[in-house]
Amino acid sequence: MNSDLKRILATLLAFDTTSRESNLQLINYIDEYLRGYGIATRLFFDEEGKKANLYARFGPEGPGGVMLSGHTDVVPVDGQRWTVPPFELTLRDDLCYGRGSTDMKGFIACVLAAVPDFLSQPLRMPLHLAFSYDEEVGCLGVRSLVDHLKASKDKPALCIIGEPTEMRPVYGHKGKLAMRCTVQGKACHSAYAPSGVNAIEYAAKLITRLGTLGETLAQTRDSRFDPPYSTLQVGVIHGGAALNIVPESCQFDFEIRHLPDVSLEPTLAELHGYAAGELLTSMRAVAPQADITFSPLSRYPGLLSDPQSEFAGWLAQWAQSEAFSTVAFGTRAACSMKRA
């Protein structure tokens, strides 16, 4: 690792850009860095002005060219047993440690460190740089940047997103839907349980139905993915106040990671129908105010591109790997294609 790359990576890691925090210090650093090389930038802020995307382009005028894209936010370190300071660069056995060193400040550092080399070359096409916020919470931040590119006459032709794939070119990933279900029942003393509506018990019925729906989703297979089917899981649940009180409310979060060609509409229709029909009918017979609501937390589509395309061949040569693959996690690539 050369000294410039090491310095840039150490600087990026020092910014706590956990998704719940602002990323503006990091964005301002990148902005000043690029402007120092005479590269104009543009920032796209969130509604509160606490986070921003950064876009830059240089080289020949006109459409086309390659975009290098990465996200600036990282997942939390809360409750994790780090053996090194998470927001510092630690080098050990030729490996870089620090929150985001792999996903994906390492890629951003490589791009920034390469800027002087890019500028020294007679570029035949434009080079675009795009760095976004809130990727880790549902690819939320990049959307304003994508909308800008969609309206531009100088769109890039290709986009490389530097996710941690161990230098394996990835041409596809699953989509994701994350939802929150809130069950509102009626509290009462547990000695008179039939007079109440137990929100946890009805949430359990919904979770059981989700398990059945997950089994149905898993019947559609695609051997290009691992696992080769869509998955559904409940990851968070909250409910109840005390053992001797029939719980008034229960809330749980679930997610579906689905194959690119799988539509979730039949699954959601069956879930909503079960909740609005059988369950609410039973609940409201005891408590007319009882309710079940579903709220989307995040959603992005799946992606499948052509591993036989000219671009794929060029990327394989650049990455020194023809081992094209897919991944089960998601990226901003699908958000870009969906909105383009």
Q: Considering the entire predicted model, what is its pTM?
A: 0.78
For residue 336, pLDDT beyond 70: no
CA-CA distance, 229 to 324, in Å (whole number)?
Answer: 19
Please report whether residue 101 resides in a domain. Answer: yes
Kindly state the average pLDDT of the residues 30-44.
97
pLDDT grade for 332, boundaries at 50, 70 and 90: low
State the alpha helices, DSSP H only, in the chain. 3-14, 24-35, 105-120, 142-151, 199-217, 265-274, 280-284, 310-319, 332-339
pLDDT tens-digit profile of 169-220?
888 999 999 999 999 999 999 999 999 999 999 999 999 999 999 999 999 9
Cα-flanking dihedrals φ and ψ of residue 227, to 5°? Answer: -70, 155
DSSP secondary structure string, 293-316? EEEEEEEE--EE--TTSHHHHHHH
Which of 35-49, 161-175, 233-247 has the weakest average pLDDT? 161-175
Residues 182 and 262 placed together within one structural domain of the fold: yes
Residues 90 and 179 placed together within one structural domain of the fold: no
pLDDT at 261: 93
pLDDT tens-digit profile of 55-112?
999 999 999 999 999 999 999 999 999 999 999 999 999 899 999 999 999 999 999 9
Q: Which amino acid is at 252?
A: F
Residues 39 and 159 placed together within one structural domain of the fold: yes
**Domain termination residue (choose one: 105, 137, 164):** 164
pLDDT grade for 335, boundaries at 50, 70 and 90: low
Cα-flanking dihedrals φ and ψ of residue 288, to 5°? Answer: -60, -25
Q: Which amino acid is at 60?
A: P
**Domain termination residue (choose one: 108, 133, 164):** 164
pLDDT at 339: 45
| 256 beta partners | 177, 232
Please report whether residue 277 resides in a domain. Answer: yes
Residue with the bigger pLDDT between 324 and 34: it is 34
For residue 127, what are the domain limits?
3-164
Residues 12 and 146 placed together within one structural domain of the fold: yes
Angle at 68 between CA 339 and CA 140, to 5 degrees: 40
Contact 245, 189 (CB under 8 A): yes
| Length, in residues, of the chain | 340
pLDDT tens-digit profile of 122-151?
999 999 999 999 988 877 888 888 888 888
Q: Catalytic amino acids?
A: 73, 135
Residues 146 and 180 placed together within one structural domain of the fold: no
pLDDT tens-digit profile of 209-257?
999 999 999 999 999 999 999 999 999 999 999 999 999 999 999 999 9
Count of domains in the chain? Answer: 2
CATH of the domain at 213: 3.30.70.360
Number of neighbouring beta carbons within 10 Å of residue 192: 9
pLDDT at 334: 60
pLDDT at 340: 44
